[in-house]
Structure 1
Amino acid sequence: MRITDLNYGAHVGNDSVLGMLHEARVRYLKQWGYTELDLAGVGMIMSDAVLAFRGESFYGDVWMIDVQATEFTRVGFELYYRVRTEREGRLQLIAEAKTAMVCFDYTTRKPVAVPELFKTQVEALGA
C-alpha cells in the first residue's frame, strides 16, 4: 500500500480499497484477453459494490486479491473478492467484497446478455 492509500486513521481507506478492486478486476479479465469495454464483444458496468473490512491494512502491505465470477444472470454476474496480506509469516484477511457487473452496450446505453464464451471460460476455470 502506498502512503496516499492511508486515511487519517493511518490505515487503508475504503476509497483506496475500491480502486484496488478495480485493478484486480482488470487483471482478472486480462487472463482471457478481455477488458471492461470488451468482454467477448460487450462492455460491462458496475451496478453495485459491497465492501466488508475484516482487518486493517497499513503502509507497505502487499495485497493478494482473489477474484471469482459467479451467480450469472441473463445480463450480469457477481464478482467476489478476497483481499489478504502476509504478516509475520501468516496470511491475514483484510477485506471481502462483491461487485455486481452488468453487461452493457455503450452505444445503445442498454444492458445486453452475458457472452456465453466468457461464462464458459469462467466455469471451466472454476473462478
Structure 2
Amino acid sequence: MLSEHFNVRFYETDALQHVSNTVLVGWFEAAREPLFKIFNPQLSLTNWPLILASYKVDFIAQIFYGSEVEVKTGISRLGNSSFEVYQQVWQNDKLCAEGHTTMVHFDYQTQKSAAIPATIRQQLQALITTNS
C-alpha cells in the first residue's frame, strides 16, 4: 500500500476535541494523488481523466490533535473502466478509519467512461491489496 503522513492541524478538531469526520475525506483525496499521477503525470486539469463515483468512510476510533496520522492507500477492485481505492487512517499504531472510493476512468469529451489502458492497469494491479 502507498503511504502518506499528515499532521493533524488544530482547526481540524471539533467541539468534541477530536478530528472532525469531514476531514478524513480530504486526507483520503490528498493521499490518492499518486494514483492520479498514474493516469495524468502532470496532474493537468485540462486533461483530467477521472471522476469520483462514490465513497464510503467507516469510523473505527477517534483521531486526536497532537499526533500525525498515516493514510495507507491501495486498490481493492479493478474493473474495465473503474476501480475501487481502499484507504486506512492510522494514528499511534491504531487503525482509526477506513474508506472505499470508486473512481471511473472518464472521457469528458464523450461524457462516457473509458477502458483503463493496459499500461495504467498494470500499475494499478501492483497496488492491489487484500486488506480490504
Question: If the TM-score is normalised by the length of the shorter chain, which range does it land in?
Answer: 0.7 to 0.9
- Check whether the contact 2:75–2:127 (CA below 8 A) recurs between aligned residues: no
Task: Quote the Cα distance in structure 2 between the aligned partners of 1:30 and 1:112.
Answer: 17
1:109 shift after superposition:
2.1
1:51 shift after superposition:
0.3
How large is the RMSD of aligned CA atoms in angstroms? 2.4
SS at match of 2:110: coil
Amino acid at match of 1:94: C
Task: Quote the Cα distance in structure 2 between the aligned partners of 1:54 and 1:85.
Answer: 11
Matches within 5 A, 1:28-43: 28-30=35-37, 34=41, 43=49
- Check whether the contact 2:12–2:19 (CA below 8 A) recurs between aligned residues: yes
**Quick one: which of 51, 58, 63 aligns to 1:52?**
58
Task: Quote the Cα distance in structure 2 between the aligned partners of 1:35 and 1:46.
Answer: 19
Amino acid at match of 1:93: L
**Quick one: which of 76, 80, 83 aligns to 2:86?**
80
Aligned to 1:19: 26
**Quick one: which of 98, 110, 113 aligns to 1:111?**
113
Amino acid at match of 2:96: I
- Check whether the contact 1:26–1:35 (CA below 8 A) recurs between aligned residues: no
Point out where structure 2 has 5 or more consecutive residues left out of the alignment. 1-7
| Cα deviation digits, residues 3-37 of structure 1 (max 9, x gap) | 12112211111211000000000134447873666
Percent of residue pairs bearing the same amino acid type:
27
Task: Quote the Cα distance in structure 2 between the aligned partners of 1:24 and 1:81.
Answer: 9
SS at match of 2:15: coil
1:60 shift after superposition:
2.2
1:54 shift after superposition:
0.9
Please state if 1:3 is matched with 2:3. Answer: no
**Quick one: which of 120, 124, 127 aligns to 1:122?**
124
Instruction: Give the total of aligned pairs.
Output: 121
